[in-house]
Amino acid sequence: MSKNSNNNSMFGGCLRFFLILSLFSSTLGSMLYLDMKPKDKIKEEIIKKGDEFSIDNKDLSNYMDVLKDLDISYNTYKDGNKTTIKIDRSNK
């Protein structure tokens, strides 16, 4: 009897482990999707705005990350609470 209950508790422990693992992986996947969504929006804004545009300083790191991911050269010019980004196309 003791051996049988030991097997059941072992099965329950494995089941609990796999449930926690699946919950963790689905949560991580959701977080990665939500992180990717703003980057897609920034890519669209860069295409619409052209080679030179101004953004708030608080958004600068997000734009710089997207430009780096796209392997685009650029220069920044700060003016108060705004930053102007000028895309450098001289190497193309």
pLDDT higher than threshold 70 for residue 92: no
pLDDT higher than threshold 50 for residue 1: no
Dihedral of the alpha carbons of 44, 47, 49, 55, in degrees to the nearest 10:
60
d(CA 59, CA 82): 9
Q: What is the pLDDT of residues 51-80, one digit of tens each?
A: 999 999 988 988 999 999 889 999 999 989
d(CA 50, CA 86): 9
DSSP bridge partners of 74? 87
Please state, for a pLDDT cut of 70, what percent of the chain lies above it.
75
Q: What is the pLDDT of residues 17-56, one digit of tens each?
A: 888 888 877 777 766 655 555 888 888 888 888 899 999 9
Dihedral of the alpha carbons of 31, 73, 52, 39, in degrees to the nearest 10:
-10
pLDDT at 77: 93
